[in-house]
Structure 1
C-alpha cells in the first residue's frame, strides 16, 4: 500500500462515516419516543446526536426530562434496534469507497480502529455483516468507554495498540469526533458525507475534511509532511 507517513493508528467513527445508518437511528428513536408519548424529534435533530452515548443523546433531545425517563427511553430504543437486528431489518450500507479504503490500509505496521456511540454487540454485528470485522484491531464503544467528545475512546485505542498521539488519526463525520480527537492529541479528519456540516467540523478542530474516502491516503501523506 502507499505510505501514510507517520500514522500507525487510523480510527474511524462508524455511523455516518463507515455506514449510513440514519434510517435505523431515526426510526428507532421515533419508536422509543412514541412509546412514552413524547413529541417525535425531527430527523435532523436526531442525526445531530449520532455518535453520542445513547442516554446522552436522548437527554439532549429531551432536556427537561428526568434521568429515569431518559434511561427508560434509551432502553426502549435498544429493544427496538435489537428486534430489527434479529429480524435482519437493519439497513446500514457502507458508503461508496469505504470498503476499498479499508482494504487499501491493510499493512502489518498499521492498526485500524473504530470509536463509536454504538454498543459492542451492535458494532460487531455491523462489521461482521460487511465482512470487515477482522480488519480492525481495536473497537471502542459506548458501553466500554466514556461518551464522545471525551477523549477516552481514542486514548483506549492508543493504549491497546501501543501508539502515541502523533501517530494517531481520528476520522469522523461529527463535531464530537473532532473534539474527541483534538482532546486526545490526535489528528482530526472530518468527512463531508455524514451527519454534521463541513463548517461545523472545521469549527470543532478538523485538520482536514475529506470529500470522498479515496482522498484519505493522500491527505495523511500531506499532513505527515506539514505537521
Structure 2
C-alpha cells in the first residue's frame, strides 16, 4: 500500500479560533496605542508567523514597537487560554475526520503558524499526540508560504510530494503547498473565503468535511 500523508493547518481548518485571534489582536493593539483592527484585517494575516502577521497588520511600527505588539498579543492569548474552562472548539466533524484518516492508513502531520507552546497545548487538550506523525510550526524555522514545514513533514513521514496533501483554509497554506510541490487542498470554512483560496491556486476547495473525505479518497485511489 502506497504511503499517503495529510498535512493539516490548525487555525481555521481544525480549530475555530476566530474569536480568540481577533480578541488577542484587538487587546494587543489597544495596549500599544494602535487603532483596534477589524475582523477583515485580522483574518488575512492568520497562518503567517506571529511576527510577520503583526508586521502586516501594522507595517509602520519600528522593530522595538513590533516586538512589544507581539508580546502583548502573546500575553492576551495566554490569558484567554488560562481562563477557567477555556477550550477553543474544533470545527464540527474535524475529530471524526482525523480519526477516519488514521484508520484508513493515512499518515498525519501538522503545519501551523502557532508557536511550539501552542502546538503542545493543542496536542494535550485534544489527546492528539499519538495521532500526528510530526508537527511543524513557526518556532521551527521559516513560516508560510515558505515550504520548510511541508518539506520537514515529508521527511519525517518518508513521503514524496506526489503522496502528500496540504489541507488549509488560507492562501498562505495553498502557496506553501505549491512551493513544496504537493497537492493544495483548500477548505471553505476558515479565515479566507473560498474565492481567495481558489485564487491562491488550490487544486480543490472542500465545502465541508464530507466533501474533504471524498476528495482525499480520490487522491489516495490515484496513488
Query: One fold, TM greater than 0.5?
Result: yes
Q: Which residue of 2 aligns with 1:81?
A: 77
CA contact (8 A) 1:191 1:198 kept: yes
Q: Which residue of 1 aligns with 2:24?
A: 28
- Please give the root-mean-square deviation of Cα atoms over the aligned residues, in Å: 1.8
Structure 1 CA distance for aligned equivalents of residues 207 and 69 of structure 2: 35
Cα deviation 1:22-74 (Å, max 9, x = unaligned): 11111111111111111111111111111110010110011111122111110
Of 34, 37, 40 in structure 2, the residue corresponding to residue 38 of structure 1 is 34
What secondary structure does 1:105 align onto? Answer: helix
Q: Which residue of 1 aligns with 2:124?
A: 128
Offset of residue 133 of structure 1: 2.9
Structure 1 CA distance for aligned equivalents of residues 209 and 188 of structure 2: 10
Offset of residue 139 of structure 1: 0.5
List aligned pairs for 1:157-196, cutoff 5 A.
157-196=153-192
Question: Structure 1 residue runs of 4+, over 4 Å off?
Answer: 224-227
Structure 2, unpaired ranges of 5+: none
Aligned: 1:57 with 2:68? no
Offset of residue 162 of structure 1: 1.3
Of 7, 14, 17 in structure 2, the residue corresponding to residue 11 of structure 1 is 7
What secondary structure does 2:185 align onto? Answer: strand
Of 144, 147, 164 in structure 1, the residue corresponding to residue 143 of structure 2 is 147
User: 104-113 or 77-86, which moves further after superposition?
Assistant: 104-113
Offset of residue 153 of structure 1: 0.7
Q: Which residue of 2 aligns with 1:111?
A: 107
TM-score (norm 1): 0.92
Offset of residue 91 of structure 1: 4.3
Structure 1, unpaired ranges of 5+: none
User: 61-70 or 85-94, which moves further after superposition?
Assistant: 85-94
Q: Which residue of 2 aligns with 1:197?
A: 193
What secondary structure does 2:184 align onto? Answer: strand
User: Which one scores higher on RCO, CA 8 angstroms, separation ≥ 6?
Assistant: 1
